[in-house]
Chains A and B, each alone.
Chain A
Amino acid sequence: MTSDAARPTRSAQGSRGRFLALWQAVWLIAVLAIIVAMPWIASAFWLGILRSCAIAVIGALALNILIGYTGQISLGHGGLMALGAFSAAYLTNTFDMPFVGVLIVASALGGIVGLIAGLPGVRLRGLYLAVTTLGVHFAVIAGATLYQSKVAMGTGFRIPSAALGPWQTGDGRVMYYVLMLFAAAVTVFTANLLRSRVGRAWIAVRDRDLAAEAMGVHAARTKVEAFVLTSALTALAGALLAYNQRFVSVEAFSFSLTIQYLAMVIIGGMASIPGSILGAFFITLLPPAIEWLVGVIPTPDTVSTQLFYVQEGLFAVLLLVFLYVEPRGLVGLWPRLRAIPSRLRKRGRLPAPMHP
């Protein structure tokens, strides 16, 4: 009897477990086509914004591993980006190291700093951990400021354009494809990791570490591993940022960068890969979109002259609205939107479930 009952569920799981359903494949191809065609559609300005989006995707995925999936907190994200960027500045200026070498060394340095930053997480939680990771931010920024003032007379470092075989990343279009490839690779890597034993251990430790330990999971090591991976990927994003801007200066890595990345994860969706991507695009596109809107729609002069404050204010309001209305973030909106037609049909009969 049990084996009979097993059959339908297992076959159902078989079809669900197929790599991609048809409509998913159609979506994927459409999105890929748009991404590939962008350099011919978008202006140089908007292509630059999209390059920043790709870097933000890597940074947001990295942060979501730590706070979304492992349940830890880090306020050192901006500092780790700075670490990656300044590693790129140091390695290119001092050793003339090639692109790929810089990325590897920068990620490794990020991992080492992540190991140190993650150790307090073994014993500390919540606010206490947040404060220790804040220390990472200030330590890296202090070191970078010192280096910048001694070597670059306080102005910053120029980063040479990188060569990947015959292609020069100095060309904005080539760099766009390189960054999109990195973002895609990190997305696939993270998605696979989450389906593996490693990902399940992160979630187990987040949900209930006592029970996770009873399952033989080394909770302390799992937390530190997540810190190391997050930090390595963040430093990678920082190094890519340096190559994208062709210039590194400590002023670009203020604490508000950390807040922006936290916002990407929260607004996009905690513990969600599509959420990280949506959040990264949303937060990166928001300021230029507002600027564009102000240019198109007639607004009082005070708005256009105080644009920065308008952007910051709107950002804060959005964050609050999201935390209040949809704690699941942008990814949480999709099931709601999908439920609207059936809800309209059923109006007056039965209340539709809020969270399908």
Chain B
Amino acid sequence: MTRTQPGLEVRNLGVLYRAGGTALHGVSLAVTPGMITALVGMNGAGKTTTLRAISGSLDARLAEVTSGTVTWQGESILGRFAHTLARKGIVLVPEREKVFQTLTVEENLSVPVKAPAGAERHTMLDEVFKLFPALLGRRNILAGYLSGGERQMLAIGQALVMQPRILLLDEISLGLAPVIVAQLLRACTDMAKALDIGILIVDQHVHAVLEIADDAYILQRGRVVLQGGAAEMLARADLEAAYLGLKSAANDREEATEHAAHGHAA
């Protein structure tokens, strides 16, 4: 799965925690516009740190980049401010609290600095509501009252208003029902293809993510231990047991079917 189109390139990225200990030992990966790249691994493997280092939002008091390069279309972007990179189109959807709770859904969508004013504003809102119809009826509701799934949709909607070229999604499915997870991931696929956005996605739902991803990287204790096409990884049943510390893939699938059966019964 190689393309000549220049995208986001991370080479040999090293990050050190100031409190002691290394977070990343020379991580290399690439994200191409229009494609979805999955970054999976156990808790503490360094997934969030990788996304934060790329997007310029590492907390300088807690961690520092010690080696490596990050380039976007050939230009070095390591060390730039998060807001500068966001304006350039490299947009992070951070983990957990990401929407502005005391603003309404519409106001949230007007926070991005690229949010248009006047008549174009309605076009922008309509586009987001077309992608996430669930938000339409909640447009004048404070984001603090939204459900977990709606918050994720809003966060992705906000990121889209920034007209991203690269979207860094950190655990967008955390604590959500499987139906909502599927819906969100489907929206990601649509976005990537329709708007030619490169998506780097970190998620605990390894199976679901590998199914929509083009490429995948497995991160273990700050190192990329395996990389390749997502489809091939999905085909290897031993993978999860070996690298992700989860139960075998078959086991996982069984559980999912069980879940669905319970859902029907209820």
Q: Which residues on A are within 8 Å of B, measured CB to CB?
A: 2, 5-6, 9, 13, 16, 197, 200-201, 203-204, 207-208, 210-219, 271
Are B107 and A200 touching (Cβ within 8 A)? Answer: yes
Closest to B106 in A: A13
Contact of B129 among A6, A214, A218 (CB under 8 A): A6
Give the secondary structure class of B's interface: mixed
- Please give, as numbers and ranges, the residues of chain A lying within 8 Å of B111 by CB-CB distance: 200-201, 204, 212, 215, 217
Contact of A216 among B86, B100, B126, B136 (CB under 8 A): B86
Q: How far is the CA of A204 from the CA of B94 in the complex (A)?
A: 14
Q: Which residues on B are within 8 Å of A, measured CB to CB?
A: 55, 57, 81-83, 86-87, 91-94, 97-103, 107, 110-114, 126, 129-130, 133, 136-137, 139-140, 155, 158-159, 161-162
Are B86 and A204 touching (Cβ within 8 A)? Answer: no
Are A214 and B107 touching (Cβ within 8 A)? Answer: no
Given A210-B57, A216-B86, A219-B83: A2 in contact with B130 (beta carbons within 8 A): yes
- Please give, as numbers and ranges, the residues of chain B lying within 8 Å of A13 by CB-CB distance: 139-140
- Please give, as numbers and ranges, the residues of chain B lying within 8 Å of A207 by CB-CB distance: 97, 100-103
Q: How far is the CA of A216 from the CA of B80 in the complex (A)?
A: 12
B160 to chain A, nearest CB (A): 11
A335 to chain B, nearest CB (A): 14
Are A217 and B94 touching (Cβ within 8 A)? Answer: no
B75 to chain A, nearest CB (A): 18
A18 to chain B, nearest CB (A): 15
- Please give, as numbers and ranges, the residues of chain A lying within 8 Å of B94 by CB-CB distance: 208, 210-211, 214
A331 to chain B, nearest CB (A): 14
A258 to chain B, nearest CB (A): 26
Are A213 and B83 touching (Cβ within 8 A)? Answer: yes
Contact of B92 among A204, A214, A219 (CB under 8 A): A214
Closest to B113 in A: A216
- Please give, as numbers and ranges, the residues of chain B lying within 8 Å of A271 by CB-CB distance: 102
B202 to chain A, nearest CB (A): 15
Q: How far is the CA of A197 from the CA of B116 in the complex (A)?
A: 11
7 contacts between A and B (CB under 8 A): A5-B133, A197-B113, A207-B103, A211-B99, A214-B92, A215-B158, A216-B86
Closest to B55 in A: A214
Are B81 and A213 touching (Cβ within 8 A)? Answer: yes
Besides A208-B94, A271-B102, 14 more A-B contacts (Cβ < 8 Å) are: A2-B129, A9-B140, A203-B100, A203-B102, A207-B101, A210-B57, A210-B82, A213-B82, A214-B94, A215-B113, A215-B162, A216-B162, A217-B83, A219-B83
Residue of A203, A210, A211 with most partner-chain B CB within 10 A:
A211
- Please give, as numbers and ranges, the residues of chain A lying within 8 Å of B158 by CB-CB distance: 215
Q: How far is the CA of A5 from the CA of B126 in the complex (A)?
A: 12
Closest to A208 in B: B97
Closest to A9 in B: B139
Are A9 and B136 touching (Cβ within 8 A)? Answer: yes
Are A2 and B102 touching (Cβ within 8 A)? Answer: no
Contact of A214 among B103, B126, B133, B159 (CB under 8 A): B159
Q: How far is the CA of A203 from the CA of B103 in the complex (A)?
A: 8
Are A211 and B83 touching (Cβ within 8 A)? Answer: no
Closest to B159 in A: A214
Contact of B100 among A6, A204, A218 (CB under 8 A): A204
B74 to chain A, nearest CB (A): 22
Q: How far is the CA of A217 from the CA of B82 in the complex (A)?
A: 9
- Please give, as numbers and ranges, the residues of chain A lying within 8 Å of B107 by CB-CB distance: 200
Closest to A16 in B: B140
Are A215 and B57 touching (Cβ within 8 A)? Answer: no
A101 to chain B, nearest CB (A): 36
7 closest Cβ pairs, A-B complex: A216-B113, A213-B82, A216-B86, A207-B100, A215-B112, A216-B87, A213-B83
